Amino acid sequence: MTRLTGGLIDRSQSLSFTFDGTRYTGHPGDTLASALLANGVRLVGRSFKYHRPRGIVAAGSEEPNAMVTLREGARAEPNTRATMAELFDGLSARSQNHVGPLSFDMLAVNDLLSPFFAAGFYYKTFMWPRAFWEKLYEPAIRRAAGLGALSEQADPDAYDRGFLHCDLLIIGAGAAGLTAALTAGRAGARVVLADEDFRLGGRLMAESDLLDHAPATQWIASVEAELRALPNVRILPRTTVFGAYDHGIYGAVERVADHLPTPGTLVRQTLWRITAKRAVLAAGATERHIPFADNDRPGVMLAGAMRAYANRWATAPGTKGPVAIFTNNDDGHRTAVDLMAKGVPIAAVIDARARSEAQGDYRVIAGGMVTGTRGRLGLRSIAVQHSGGSESLSVGALGVSGGWNPNVHLASHHRGRPVWDEARLAFLPGQGGPGGLIAAGACAGQGSTVDALADGHRAAVQALADLGLTAPALALPHAHPRAENTAPIWHVPGKRRAWVDFQNDVTVKDIALAHQENMRPVEHLKRWTTLGMATDQGKTANVTALAVMAELTGKSIPQTGTTIFRPPYTGVSLGVLGGGDTGTNFRPRRLTPTHTWAKAQGAVFVEVGPWMRAQYFVRPGETYWRQSVDREVLAVRSGVGLCDVTTLGKIDVQGADAGLFLDRVYANAMASLKVGMVRYGLMLREDGTLYDDGTCARLAEDHYVVTTTTANAGPVYAQMEFARQCLWPDLDVQLISTTDAWAQIAVAGPKARALLERVVDGFDLSNEAFPFMACAPLTVCGGTRARLFRISFSGELAYELAVPARYGNALMARLMELGADLGATPYGTEALGVMRIEKGHAAGAELTGQTTAQMLGLGKMVSKKKDAIGAVMSRRGGLGDDSRRLVGLVPLDASHTVTPGAHLFTAGAHPSMDSDQGWVTSAAYSPHVGSSIGLAFLERGDERMGEVITAANPLQGQSVAVKVVSAHFVDPEGGRLRA
């Protein structure tokens, strides 16, 4: 391993890691990329389309080439940039996208076939025959072109989500970000300072320039110490602010544990939602390269990255020969000077500008161009053309500097349009963009250290002034002024392929082809060539591509277009976006008050919306669900059963106008209901279709309690609040949802009264005192507050008893205990469903949003004497004329099954859309009838009792002869209810 002097690595510790199975060592402070370079590894992967050998190009998050699969097993993470992976002991990484060893990729044949693989090739070639695309072409192309593969195992790590609020969010902790943070922190503003790097300092760490005549790290350390001591400043290293959203909300991912072998007790990553009154974008700049023939060979890097590897990571870029620099600006010379200071030999600085002077003791080739490279798996020599002719230079590495692109990404979210600055040859943040976002430093075109330090301070002062805060004066450290003097030289003309976008293998030729095919607008160019559409979003490619297209069209760069970026700034894992909302944590689960009791009784639970409800209770010896359900149904019909019905929505309605209000939200009359009585209620949507049903109990003149279906508890409440606040705000009425406040237990069956008599405190349950549809407040079990409703869903003598939710579990246990000799049996939703079908009661399967009151045979319930939501529209032609009616169905052959969803046809008719007569809404096996039964909507169903029709289920090839009967299979006269 070869290391230069200095650098921000801890040489006292060694870290062992593997790349493609070979063991190497690095130090704390290294990234995988810096450690690989320090170990002389240049070849790190194969390119996307042509499988060309590729090496590390950059030193930051813009890296297009060095994509590796990090870690093993379930934690294997493909497409990780080696430049962003912090080295830890035991790290293992693998290269991607090759068949066979990395050094001899079988698919490199694609490179020889490159004339066929130019832009648009797939669009044109694989058009025909059409059927081949899905089966043959696409799978083959996908195998050949690509990135890493997923582990296809469950993610073993935890993720979290958090919320932060601040006065000022500072994105980037380089020179500008640090002076901004210091300014705002000292002013007392609440500051969040986020940086994607694991150390603060940004580009300052990559430079050799002094600050206040001392290494910049000293100034960074003093600023960091002061910021950490300020209680109003929060520093988030390893945190990428990836997007700007509405009203000052920013998305950020903190890589909490990605630098550790395993997260241990930590979450792996946290998704932060940061609400900031103002933000300073100090995201720096990304160096661009200059395309020339075969410029993608391992060993060709960005010159600024080379400088960063030397200064920060003490890594020499080339061990196989001297280093050359190809530049069109002064910054390239700076790399040469820094490398020489570290003892790295410089072959030459090839400066594309006609006038150029050496900044040190090295050869300058002014007006020169690099026209080609050699070296199968890594750079060996470059061809240079200059005024004196051409020559070949033996080099181990080549640094390329084509000027710097400000990182305008976040400023171009929210339709912010970057503007071209001809003096700087760069796009700068323009008008529009996220409100309250101020760009500062290199990303605002103020890239020199002197300018960036001052600009960060300026931006913070501006933001603080907006917030009404005064910024104290800040003494900026002394820095060396520098200029870039970039010349508009965008690529080296030539016949061979010169790469613009390394990650998606797009060359200058491809752009020329796009021009030739008239794909000239930037958005067409992008889609035709896939330029900038790789995971790096073309950070090192887009502006150069635009310049090449401008040259081809003879227009200026701003006339050609601009390049805007969408979130995310860098890739965000789906795992962290989920933020831990997986499996049972996907959404909250609501448990009924009797849940623990039911669990102990062997209940099998079913999800009903957010609720977990007991579906049926398995008794010893029962091996099939129907055994349990049939037993429960029969127990209710012959004795007494208990069911937790808490999940039905309950809304408490109070006020002098409560009755009038309910008259308007229910289709039937409610104001006329007597105190102490309950009425079934139908609620319509304003378009006239059925919305929901439930019961409405009047506890006092000005006090009702209404119920909704379980599924609609939330929506009906919201709708009633809408009616109260928006439609009839002049009514004296108040609403509150009490679904969670009261536990409600259905006590059903001929022995229900006998059981209830054992818990009520001296309350007269006789038929005369408490008839069918009565309700009353009372106490039970020696003083517990309760409400009793004599209502029935099962068709039996039945009550619903409500107690404060905390007593629900105890009440259920007490009823079971006291009812043991009566055969008290708990029943679940399955038995509940069977009994309501036997009784012909509508539920969710009948109230689909496409059915009407008439269809249920309840058309007369829609009062014509008053205005109510949906009443007028329910009478319009299309709905009023619908002749389908709710009927019951039994199979002619009792061994046959009625299937929900089956469609109905006149016996003998050919089943088609035209001959369709209706459909089966609900079906169940009825222990009472002794066969399968169904509920259905049938054309003129009320006139067709006794007719035999066909229920067809073509999906499963079923066709069953069924007889039309009344929907009331049990006790059609209602005698049991009133017993």
d(CA 972, CA 35): 83
Q: How far is the CB of 686 from another protein (least distance, A)?
A: 5
Comparing C-alpha atoms, which of 408, 446, 439, 440 is closest to residue 424? Answer: 446
Comparing C-alpha atoms, which of 40, 42, 70, 39 is closest to residue 54? Answer: 42
Q: How far is the CB of 731 from another protein (least distance, A)?
A: 11
User: Which is closer to another protein, CB of 604 or CB of 873?
Assistant: 873
User: Which is closer to another protein, CB of 142 or CB of 865?
Assistant: 865
Assess contact for 642 and 826: CB atoms under 8 A.
Answer: yes
Q: What are the φ/ψ torsions at residue 466 (nearest 5 degrees)?
A: -60, -35
Q: How far is the CB of 921 from another protein (least distance, A)?
A: 25
Residue 794's contacts (CB-CB under 8 Å, 6 or more residues apart) are 636, 637, 641, 746, 748, 749, 832, 835, 836, 839
Q: How far is the CB of 561 from another protein (least distance, A)?
A: 22
d(CA 3, CA 544): 33
Q: How far is the CB of 244 from another protein (least distance, A)?
A: 12
**Count of CB atoms within 10 A of residue 167's CB?**
20
User: Which is closer to another protein, CB of 106 or CB of 872?
Assistant: 872
Asked whether the CA dihedral 961, 967, 970, 975 is positive or negative, the reply is: negative
Across 415-563, where does the E strand assignment appear? 419-421, 426-428, 437-439, 499-501, 506-507
User: Which is closer to another protein, CB of 717 or CB of 827?
Assistant: 717
**Count of CB atoms within 10 A of residue 619's CB?**
13
Q: How far is the CB of 126 from another protein (least distance, A)?
A: 40
d(CA 115, CA 100): 24
Q: How far is the CB of 477 from another protein (least distance, A)?
A: 38
Block residue for tokens 């760490």: 205
Q: How far is the CB of 719 from another protein (least distance, A)?
A: 10
Beta pairing, strands 67-70 & 53-54: unpaired
d(CA 535, CA 65): 11
Peptide bond into 129 cis (omega under 30): yes
Assess contact for 429 and 408: CB atoms under 8 A.
Answer: yes
User: Which is closer to another protein, CB of 715 or CB of 750?
Assistant: 715
User: Which is closer to another protein, CB of 55 or CB of 688?
Assistant: 688
User: Which is closer to another protein, CB of 341 or CB of 669?
Assistant: 669
Q: What are the φ/ψ torsions at residue 658 (nearest 5 degrees)?
A: -60, -45
Beta pairing, strands 191-194 & 369-374: unpaired
**Count of CB atoms within 10 A of residue 397's CB?**
29
Q: What are the φ/ψ torsions at residue 227 (nearest 5 degrees)?
A: -65, -40
Take residue 249 and report the two structure tokens written for it: 């909300």
Q: How far is the CB of 792 from another protein (least distance, A)?
A: 32
**Count of CB atoms within 10 A of residue 6's CB?**
16
Q: How far is the CB of 724 from another protein (least distance, A)?
A: 8
User: Which is closer to another protein, CB of 125 or CB of 725?
Assistant: 725
Assess contact for 368 and 385: CB atoms under 8 A.
Answer: yes
Length of the chain: 979
User: Which is closer to another protein, CB of 137 or CB of 728?
Assistant: 728
Q: How far is the CB of 660 from another protein (least distance, A)?
A: 14
User: Which is closer to another protein, CB of 356 or CB of 710?
Assistant: 710
User: Which is closer to another protein, CB of 295 or CB of 737?
Assistant: 737
d(CA 355, CA 765): 107
d(CA 742, CA 648): 10
User: Which is closer to another protein, CB of 485 or CB of 725?
Assistant: 725
Residue 285's contacts (CB-CB under 8 Å, 6 or more residues apart) are 404, 405, 406, 407, 426, 442, 443, 447
SS3 per residue for 325-384? EEECCHHHHHHHHHHHHCCCCEEEEEECCCCCCCCCCCCEEECCEEEEEECCCCCCEEEE
Q: Is 268 helix (H, G, I), strand (E, B) or coil?
A: coil
Beta pairing, strands 369-374 & 381-386: antiparallel
CA dihedral 803, 809, 810, 815 (to 10 degrees): 80
Q: What are the φ/ψ torsions at residue 496 (nearest 5 degrees)?
A: -80, 165
Assess contact for 191 and 165: CB atoms under 8 A.
Answer: no
Q: How far is the CB of 688 from another protein (least distance, A)?
A: 9
Q: How far is the CB of 708 from another protein (least distance, A)?
A: 15
Q: How far is the CB of 872 from another protein (least distance, A)?
A: 5
Take residue 729 and report the two structure tokens written for it: 């705000």
Q: How far is the CB of 272 from another protein (least distance, A)?
A: 14
User: Which is closer to another protein, CB of 586 or CB of 722?
Assistant: 722
Q: Which residues pair with 679 in a beta bridge?
A: 696
User: Which is closer to another protein, CB of 246 or CB of 768?
Assistant: 246
User: Which is closer to another protein, CB of 134 or CB of 246?
Assistant: 246
d(CA 846, CA 855): 9
Q: How far is the CB of 654 from another protein (least distance, A)?
A: 15
d(CA 621, CA 138): 54
Binding region for another protein (CB under 8 A): 245-249, 275, 414, 435, 686-687, 714, 718, 721-722, 725-727, 729-730, 867, 872-873, 875-876
Q: How far is the CB of 888 from another protein (least distance, A)?
A: 33
User: Which is closer to another protein, CB of 490 or CB of 661?
Assistant: 661
User: Which is closer to another protein, CB of 93 or CB of 720?
Assistant: 720
d(CA 146, CA 168): 40
Take residue 347 and report the two structure tokens written for it: 């072959």
Q: How far is the CB of 245 from another protein (least distance, A)?
A: 8
User: Which is closer to another protein, CB of 607 or CB of 687?
Assistant: 687
